[in-house]
Amino acid sequence: MNWRVDAAVQTPAHSALGDVLSYSSTRPLVPGTLVRVPLGRREVLGVAWSVHPADPAYEDAAGPMALKPVAGALDALTPLGEPWRDLVAFAARYYQRSLGEIALAALPPPLRELSAEQLARRLRRQAPAGAAVQEAPRPGPPPSAEQAQALARFEAEPGPFLLFGSTGSGKTEVYLQAVATLLEREPGAQALVMVPEINLTPQLEARFKDRFGAAAVVSLHSGMTNPQRLASWLAAHGGAARIVLGTRMAVFASLPSLRLIVVDEEHDPSYKQQEGARYSARDLAVWRGRREGAKVILGSATPSLESWHRSRPAEGEDAGGRYRRLEMPTRIGTAALPAVRLVDMGRQPPRTVLSAPLLEAIGQRVARGEQSMIFLNRRGYAPVLACSDCGWKSECPHCSAYRVFHKIDRTLRCHHCGFTERVPRACPACGNPDIAPVGRGTERLEEHLGELFAGVQRSDGSAVRIARIDADSTRRQGALQSQLAAVHAGDVDVLVGTQMIAKGHDFRRITLVAAANADGALFSSDFRAPERLFSLLMQSAGRAGRDAAYLSAQGSTAEMWIQTHHPQHPLFDALRRHDYPAFAQRELQERAAAGMPPFAFQALLRADARTQEAAQAFLNAASAAAEGLAGAGLVTRYPAVPHAIQRVANVERAQLLLESSSRAALQRLLAALQPILHGLRRAPEGKGVIRWLVDVDPQSI
């Protein structure tokens, strides 16, 4: 008897081939089995999604009606479980992508190339390591009163939980103790711990391995080599790894005994994938926890407004949110949150980069042997190079953006398409040799600090040591780890950097943090910009004064300095008081009045084309065709507009916003739009269109 195997494979984008392709098999495969199947002229990896007895009408069919046989099954690997397949199916359905695209992207790349025999040998080699005896967890420090209360509620209530704890309140210790309690109660259980950035994984991995032993912990993130990712994935899938630490991709890890999910810094935009399938790992973690009966903790000092709203307590006729809010407002020990000082830059001399009071405060820290951190979320030497005679600027010829001046290698580099050229000796337009940088990036700020502190000496008579950490200074393998180690060792007096240094790091000797230019997002057209700015500034402030004993020994206090032209802005008032609830209340009131998330649901339909006219015409045609579709009456469709950065790599980009107070209505419309979009792509309206995509719950508009 033959069987029909419906397999999820990674079909070409916008191929409209459907979620699964059918193949024939001489034996009944278990759903979830990895299979190698023919696709065109290639043989590709797929996942057997469902298996049925073959239809007699097709068994003797020939030509195009005949089902191609499965080339082979990777039987040595335990089939992917039904909960994992449900997660993939939900993500594909909700984020409007194909089943195979999500499923295959969730698997480690080496699996796509291994034959059944090669995989079997790989599993035999890994078996001894997987059989290693798990160490008993080492005891942690006794929890504080707030930590003990949060852990007690976590054990007693179903969740999901929002752990709202100030920076330095010991949220990581809560995660560690929650995992330890789980493994003590259920030795075979597994926990998934997610972080937003790759550079935060090593320090968290060190803490978990120190507590639980190296054999119990594996990491999963895109910074690993393919063999490392495969080994970690196999350890998790086989149950040998009890704890998986990873970035957003880890939400799709195969964990057959998953009982706990932690999403640290849950507010971070990095949890939203920005290429391909644009899923939110945080939201999928909550869905996965509910599907698999695993408890979920979302942790942050500055929660996303969506999570804050969903964790609101019941009040009057409002039944409250479905999350449980756990609060830890104070820092561990006697450490206090840093005092926030605002510098009105309108009262400073023109072209002031760092105000005199701030420089004096940094100098005092240097004299006492303490560390300072200056945050500027713009890398490079200057955002643009310009000619004062003719007005020429260093525009990218391929993008609607300027190329950034990098002085270290004397290049103009586009941070969108990567186009790089040497800095011209004179203005390309008029020949003026006096072209100058405009604005400042971290590279120029580092140089400026070096000039300002050139004559200053440390207490031991040596020169002030200034370091920079950003995407440019950490390109080489291991560069970030060595730079962070130098900061932790006290070999740096003033640290300059982008948001890479603003969150998650436990710097014990930093007592002053400064934001050099905090006004950029105050008046942005993106309604989420104030939320991101408040979070970034509060997280930056959290790097200062984390060690109460060190502060006491130094006779010092922790400070956060913010340079702004708008010191009276309500955002800064809430920040001075470290009052996230007040900020959140004000923002939520404004969003409720405007009908914006979390009180509405959004999706962006995006199109890339050879011309802006073609991109917008395609989107507007899709909007017109949506009239009368299921859910259309409850969804507002706005006209197509150019993307914020209209052109990237000579491709014009446009977007169309869809918004509704009903998530179900928006999803129905998006699903009904899919065949229309495929049809338009092949119609005259699609001429010149390179690709289109749907971005559900977008993080920026």
Per the DSSP assignment, residues forming a β-bridge with 327 are 164
* DSSP-assigned letter for residue 419: -
**Burial grade of 286 (CB within 10 A; 0-12, 13-18, 19 or more):** buried
CB half-sphere exposure, 177, CA atoms < 13 A: 19
Residue type, 519: D
Q: Is 430 annotated as a binding residue?
A: yes
Q: Is 387 annotated as a binding residue?
A: yes
Helix (H) or strand (E) holding 235: helix 226-237
The sign of the dihedral angle between the CA atoms of 101, 107, 110, 116 is: negative
Beta strands in 195-251 (DSSP E): 217-220, 243-246
Residue pointed to by tokens 């299979």: 35
Q: Is 557 annotated as a binding residue?
A: no
Burial pattern 634-649, b for ≥16 Cβ within 10 A else e, equals ebebeebeebeebbbe
Closest CA to 152 of 306, 298, 328: 328
CA pair distance 445, 439, nearest whole angstrom? 10
CA pair distance 641, 630, nearest whole angstrom? 24
CA pair distance 217, 231, nearest whole angstrom? 12
Residue type, 134: Q
Where would I find the H helices in 555-611? 570-576, 580-594
CA pair distance 21, 18, nearest whole angstrom? 7
CA pair distance 540, 303, nearest whole angstrom? 15
Packing angle of the helix pair 201-212, 171-185 (nearest 10 deg): 40
DSSP state string for 120-151: HHHHHHHHHHHTPPPPPPPP-PPPPHHHHHHH
User: Phi/psi of residue 20, each to 5°?
Assistant: -130, 155
Residue type, 569: H
Q: Is 163 annotated as a binding residue?
A: no
Residue type, 274: Q
| Contact criterion met (CB below 8 Å) for 33 and 61 | no
Count how many residues are written for the chain.
701
**Number of CB atoms found within 10 A of residue 149's CB:** 14
Phi-psi region of 487 (alpha: psi -120 to 50; beta: other; left: phi over 0): alpha
Q: How far is CA 1 from the centre of its chain?
A: 48
At residue 564, the 3 state secondary structure works out as: strand
The C-alpha angle with vertex 443 and arms to 439 and 449, in degrees rounded to 5, equals: 90
Residue 129's contacts (CB-CB under 8 Å, 6 or more residues apart) are: 215, 235, 240
Q: Is 21 annotated as a binding residue?
A: no
Q: Is 417 annotated as a binding residue?
A: yes
CA pair distance 28, 51, nearest whole angstrom? 7
* DSSP-assigned letter for residue 493: S
Residue 295's contacts (CB-CB under 8 Å, 6 or more residues apart) are: 154, 158, 159, 160, 161, 178, 259, 260, 261, 289
Closest CA to 265 of 195, 162, 337, 200: 195
CA pair distance 388, 406, nearest whole angstrom? 19
Cis peptide before 383 (omega within 30 of 0): no
Which amino acids are annotated as binding site, given as ranges? 387, 390, 396, 399, 414, 417, 427, 430
Residues belonging to the binding site for Zn(2+) are: 387, 390, 396, 399, 414, 417, 427, 430
